[in-house]
Amino acid sequence: MTGMKKRFGINVLCSFLILAFLTAVPAISHASPHDLSGGDNPTPEITPDPLHRLPASPAEAHRLLEEREAGWPEGESGSPRAAMVMAEVRVSIPHDTVEGFTNHPLEAVIVELKRGATTIDTVNTVTKDDGWFKADFSASDIRQGDRVWVTDVADGNQFEINCVLTASIDFASNKVSGTAVAGNTIDVYIAAPSTYYGDIPPGAAHRRVTAGGGNFEVSFDLNLRNGDAAFVYSSDANGNKVMNVAAGSGKGLVVYPQYDEVMGYYQPGAALTVQAGSAARETTVLKDGFFEAWFTDHDIVPGEKVSCNMGGERNIIVREVSAVALPSSNHVKGTAPAGRDIRITMDVNGTPAVIESTADADGNFDLDLQGRYTITGSEVFNVTWYDDDGDAVVYQFNSFSWYLAEGYTGGQFDTWVLVQNPGTEPVLVSMNFQLLSGSAPAYDFVLPGGTRQSVHLDTLPGLADAQVSTMVTSTD
């Protein structure tokens, strides 16, 4: 298991001479530890995130994967729903579940699974206090083309959901296409390796179309790659939804070294052996095509080979990534394996923004996010790099900022910002300044571990004789 380094970020003090005013600000966290001054980089470890936006340990990350399930997009009903229904009924083909709400808490609901003229299975259940019910058909297997009948026993209301929904993903053309009930609304969400720990929706990209004539096709601006999976939802006029995962999703290995996890998508039900260095894990692909192998007693490190036979051996050598997100310039820059395609995913747990690029011949990248994402200084983001076969390695990063509301550099006043790094690794500090009107140029510097620096704002460009508020961001 990955060792947990004790990291404390940086401390900030702002003092105003004459006023004798002192403000103490708690520690600022930063992203994965890297040597920003050059030389060999240490292995990235999980960095504590005081805002609890990222898993604090491999065990917590694994728990998030165990709890994963597809969410449901907001409906756009075209007609009034049946009197019994408070919210749409949802049928998940890969998870073999039917769930929804009725107007009758703690009352019986009958859910029938029909295939052609035959009733395959019947589940009798009781609604919860809020009217919610769920029926599990894992023993009988919901298939595309089946029909689900739901009966609210309390008032006898009954209605049908048509489960016609197929889909396939085409990586070459960046398209997802399939069949559905004619006239239904189709939502397609892409789960990329960078969003495997996030929710669907929203995923890395989304398209909505209507299944005219019973067929649909959507194109994505995102360059679809191995490891990407397409979750497809079909909504009828009453808001009832059917979900399926597009055939062909995934087909690649995805490695999260910080969490000692290997995952991806492959043929449902297939038994796989995943090898990481000298360690091996057995796993079975779930019905939605997803698999994961958690190496509880083995630390996946740079230089290690990860492999798995998925209709032929797939393998990737883990290489390290460093990255910083700079609010001062709205750039993300860092290092990755030389010449490799990369994806940077900002706001991983919110509304992801995916930016694609390639590391240069020296392994450097520097991307201007202007018009695509605004860096705030409190980011959760990750960087994914791909090998020639489309297998991927993902590193996660986080940063956050503290704000010093009052400062004045006019007359006999001086303003100092005292920054301390009690940790052992260097951090990149970015200071941004807001004036009464406009802003002053940002000031960035590297602060070595175990040191402090006093920044005299009066001497910085644009800050002479100014009232100023300061944002201090640790972006290592």
Q: What is the pLDDT of residues 241-281, one digit of tens each?
A: 999 999 999 889 999 999 999 999 999 999 999 999 999 99
Q: Which residues pair with 274 in a beta bridge?
A: 281, 308
* Domain-located, residue 239: yes
- Domain check: are 432 and 379 in the same one? no
What is residue 132's three-state secondary structure?
strand
Domain boundary residue, one of 269, 296, 317: 317
Q: How many CA atoms lie within 13 A of 150 on its CB side?
A: 27
Domain of residue 333, CATH code: 2.60.40.10
What single-letter amino acid sits at 164?
V
Total of domains in the chain: 4
* Domain-located, residue 68: no
| Cβ-based burial of 277 (10 A; exposed 0-12, middle 13-18, buried ≥19) | middle
* Domain-located, residue 43: yes
CB 407 within 8 A of CB 415: yes
* Domain-located, residue 234: yes
- Torsions phi, psi of 375, nearest 5? -75, 125
Tokens in use for 93? Answer: 């083909």
Range of the domain at 436: 1-56+399-476
- Domain check: are 428 and 448 in the same one? yes
Domain boundary residue, one of 373, 396, 419: 396
- Domain check: are 94 and 193 in the same one? yes
- Domain check: are 275 and 345 in the same one? no
Rounded distance between C-alpha atoms, residue 462 and residue 476, angstroms: 26
Position 57 scores a pLDDT of 77
Please report, rounded to a whole number, the percentage of residues in the chain having pLDDT higher than 90.
Answer: 68
Rounded distance between C-alpha atoms, residue 287 and residue 274, angstroms: 18
Give mean pLDDT, residues 303-313.
96
- Domain check: are 188 and 85 in the same one? yes
What single-letter amino acid sits at 330?
N
What is residue 458's three-state secondary structure?
helix
- Domain check: are 327 and 458 in the same one? no
What single-letter amino acid sits at 252?
G
- Domain check: are 303 and 195 in the same one? no
- Domain check: are 383 and 458 in the same one? no
Give mean pLDDT, residues 304-333.
94
* Domain-located, residue 129: yes
* Domain-located, residue 63: no
* Domain-located, residue 67: no
Rounded distance between C-alpha atoms, residue 142 and residue 81, angstroms: 24
Domain boundary residue, one of 288, 317, 346: 317
- Domain check: are 98 and 154 in the same one? yes
Position 462 scores a pLDDT of 95
Mean pLDDT (the chain, rounded):
85
CA of residue 414 relative to chain centroid, distance: 43
Instruction: Look at residue 105 and tell me whether its pLDDT is greater than 50.
Output: yes
Q: Which of 72-76, 78-82, 139-143, 196-200 has the highest mean pLDDT?
A: 139-143
Instruction: Look at residue 78 and tell me whether its pLDDT is greater than 60.
Output: no
* Domain-located, residue 62: no
Q: How far is CA 270 from CA 69, 141, 266, 377, in A?
A: 20, 17, 8, 43
- Domain check: are 182 and 156 in the same one? yes
| Cβ-based burial of 412 (10 A; exposed 0-12, middle 13-18, buried ≥19) | exposed
pLDDT-derived band at 428 (thresholds 50, 70, 90) equals confident
Neighbours of 121 (CB within 10 A): 17
What single-letter amino acid sits at 117?
A
- Domain check: are 192 and 300 in the same one? no
Q: How far is CA 216 from CA 154, 211, 289, in A?
A: 38, 5, 22
Pairing of strands 290-294, 305-309: unpaired
- Domain check: are 81 and 51 in the same one? no
Residue range 146-195, pLDDT digits in tens: 999 999 999 988 889 999 999 999 999 999 999 999 999 999 999 999 98
Torsion sign over Cα 52, 57, 60, 62: positive
